[in-house]
Amino acid sequence: MAAKSYSNPIVKWIEYRLPIFSFLDHELNEYPTPKNLNYWWNFGSLAGIVLVIMILTGIVLAMSYTPHVDYAFESVERIMRDVNYGWLLRYIHMNGGSMFFIIVYIHLFRGMYYGSYKAPRELLWIIGVVILLAMMATAFMGYVLPWGQMSFWAATVITNLFSAVPLVGESIVTWLWGGFSVDNPTLNRFFSLHYLLPFVIFALVFVHLWALHVHKSNNPVGVDIKGPQDTIPFHPYYTIKDTFGLGVFMIFFMFFVFFAPNFFGEPDNYIKANPLVTPSHIVPEWYFLPYYAILRAITFDIWFVPAKLIGVVAMFGSILILLFLPWLDRSRVRSATFRPVYKQVFWVFVVDCFILGWVGANTPDAEFHGVKMLWIGQAATFYYFFHIVILIPLISVMETPKALPASISQAVTPGGKS
Amino acid sequence: MTGTRKRRALALAVAVALALAAGAAMAAEGSKPPEQKWSFDGLFGTYDRAAAQRGFLVYNTVCAACHGLSLVAYRNLAGVGFKEEEIKAIAAAKEVPDGPNDQGEMFARPGRPADRFARPFANDNAARAANNGALPPDLSLITKARKGGADYLYALLTGYKEPPTGMTMMEGMQYNAYFPGNQIAMLPPLAEGGVEYADGTKATVQQMAHDVSTFLTWAAEPEMEERKRMGVKVLLFLIVLTAMLYAMKRQIWTDVH
């Protein structure tokens, strides 16, 4: 941190005791950033902004929400009908959840395409996966709070998954519920945790950024920063680029908030939870559909291990396995731009994830041109793990990458300094 | 990186987001009720006040015998253009439970604009007892709680038919093409001339179904008009702002290379 002199005496006084001004200057202003970042690099800052939007709207919503099975549904409707701009706050928060996942999934695929998880950014990636897990827990519990039919039955289905744990499964479920079914104690603790976890995520985001700022951003050619000719200061170049991206995103986001606020939701969640009536088919929110497909794809026992347990392990495993990605991929070349084979299977993997989502939205018995959804789900699940466990390591060893540019600067400007 | 490549990347980002959205839409299923023309369709849609008021009459005369509207208060009726005096009269015509009084007793009194719509039954069990075991759902959110919304409601209300040959109906059930399972406990609620419209509109089944669907859509989304009005302004503002930000971005980045 270069010693900077400030003329304002108050700034000077504070700076001497807590060097916050030079810190901000260093991390947000002069922070050297690769000059070749494309628009896929917008999604990190977008995710951070959506997190803040979610926390702010959530805090205000909590002021008018009642976490009790008899009042939760009605209190949400009071927010919609009687609280000033309550409908706006709630629709922002509700659609914000979907937006958060759209952004984070793009951010994650960006990292996979450009090899952002590779040395020395392994921990950065791992923290990111932990953030994703925390987000999923938060989103799941948030979905329960309006206490509609899908809230209740999603909570029942998901918490019941823990009963697959051998020996202590049933006890764990009772412990999670705080009783013998999803009921008031469950709703209370979900509200408490739904309020807590976003702040945990916020802290994790700081650690994520801390790790990011040590080795700086990866970039589309995946070559290390070799000197000042490869970088530009974060401000004003990326502040304006991120702000422009934010504008585009807000147009997308606000369209749903104002004109199709229930697009991502299930109509059943506007029916108050009723433990005696099971909806005809229980589906999770769209961002969980791929995992739901993986869970339901396992319909067979292996030896003495019951199908349900394997399904649950496969579902959680589909995310946890990402933690090992930095070591599964042996290639030293980061960017898929220079990896002709990996580049192609990457897109197959993306399509596979969409197929899983589509299967998750349908009942396993449904048919697609005579092919049972279950079989499509099983094939897609197989490919998901096959891609990560077999294809990635194999390709990383066998593939001949294209020649890398000598530097970022050379890649960006033909004939530029290397 | 060239400008075209950047643009292509951006277009791809939008495409992925839209594809994700389409995935969510595919979660919906079942035979679709035919689409109707509604005053509240589209970016600038508003509730046809006359239709909504006629729809209230249908609800009040027909549906309210079995279906509650417990999330709506009489005062809210101002949202479909009822005058204060009319609202007071509508509320006063209903009996609402209140109490306990000084003697510790519950009592009934005429409704006030601040009251929620009076419930047709004291509780769900009473509702079932009076309806052959079936529970008439509360209609406050009905258009949001059913796939197809107002289209579904209209199709259901006009969808009573003779059961197809070979189909055995359970006792007391009616055949309805749009109800899941096709067997519904509700008797055909609308009959030609079932209500008398003050504005002289002919009370056909289709007309009443259309009107009451408009009214119930308003009951489910009373904020819709304000929402869409604000949305148009917000989007226009964002589009102009984003265009300016793009120009600034181009300007600032000119010296990079």
**Per-residue pLDDT tens listing for chain A (418 residues):** 445 689 999 999 999 999 999 999 999 999 999 999 999 999 999 999 999 999 999 999 999 999 999 999 999 999 999 999 999 999 999 999 999 999 999 999 999 999 999 999 999 999 999 999 999 999 999 999 999 999 999 999 999 999 999 999 999 999 999 999 999 999 999 999 999 999 999 999 999 999 999 999 999 999 999 999 999 999 999 999 999 999 999 999 999 999 999 999 999 999 999 999 999 889 999 999 999 999 999 999 998 999 999 999 999 999 999 999 999 999 999 999 999 999 999 999 999 999 999 999 999 889 999 999 999 999 999 999 999 999 999 999 999 999 999 999 888 876 555 4
Residues B68-125 pLDDT 10s: 999 999 999 999 999 999 999 999 999 999 999 999 999 999 999 999 999 999 999 9
Say how many CA atoms lie within 13 Å of A389 toward its Cβ: 11
Collapse the DSSP code of A371 into the 3-class scheme (helix H, G, I; strand E, B; otherwise coil) and give the result.
strand
| Dist. CA A238–CA A251, nearest whole Å | 20
Q: Is the torsion defined by CA of B80, B32, B25, A97 positive or negative? A: positive
Active site residue A217: yes
Q: What pLDDT score was predicted for residue B18? A: 45
Confidence of residue B20 (pLDDT cuts 50, 70, 90): very low
pTM of the model: 0.92
CB contact under 8 A, B234 and A266: no
What percent of chain B is modeled with pLDDT above 70? 88
| CA nearest to B149 within chain A | A267
Cα–Cα distances in angstroms (integers) from residue A134 to residues A137, A138, A194, A307, B141, in the given order: 5, 6, 10, 26, 32
CB pairs under 8 A between A and B: 129
| Dist. CA A137–CA A288, nearest whole Å | 11
Q: Which of B115, B156, B256 to mutate to test the interface with A (most CBs of A within 10 A)?
A: B256
Q: In the block, which residue shows the tokens 């529970």?
A: B135
Among the listed residues A35, A241, A352, A409, the single catalytic one is A241
| Dist. CA A44–CA A114, nearest whole Å | 14
CB contact under 8 A, B235 and A354: no
Q: What pLDDT score was predicted for residue B31? A: 60
| CA nearest to A411 within chain B | B1
Q: Which of A40, A240, A413 sits opposite B248 (nearest CB)?
A: A240
Say yes or no: ipTM exceeds 0.85. Answer: yes
Distance from CA of A238 to the nearest CA of B (A): 9
Distance from CA of B19 to the nearest CA of A (A): 9
Scanning B95-124 for CB atoms below 8 A from A yields none
The runs of H, that is alpha helices, within A225-334 are 234-259, 289-297, 307-320, 325-328
Cα–Cα distances in angstroms (integers) from residue B233 to residues B40, B226, B238, in the given order: 18, 11, 9
Residue B25 has pLDDT above 50, yes or no: no
Helix (H) or strand (E) holding A372: strand A371-372
The verdict on B65 touching A (C-beta cutoff 8 Å) is no
Residues B184-228 pLDDT 10s: 999 999 999 999 999 999 999 999 999 999 999 999 999 999 999
The verdict on A19 touching B (C-beta cutoff 8 Å) is no
CB contact under 8 A, A416 and B235: no
CB contact under 8 A, B20 and A362: no
The verdict on A218 touching B (C-beta cutoff 8 Å) is no
Q: Is the torsion defined by CA of A75, A76, A82, A86 positive or negative? A: positive
Active site residue A285: yes
Burial (CB count <10 Å: 0-12, 13-18, 19+), residue A119 = exposed
Cα–Cα–Cα angle for B147, B150, B156, nearest 5°? 80
| CA nearest to A363 within chain B | B27
Residues A284-343 pLDDT 10s: 999 999 999 999 999 999 989 999 999 999 999 999 999 999 999 999 999 999 999 999
Whether a cis peptide bond, with omega within 30° of 0, leads into A228 is no
Other Cβ atoms less than 10 A from the Cβ of B206: the count is 15
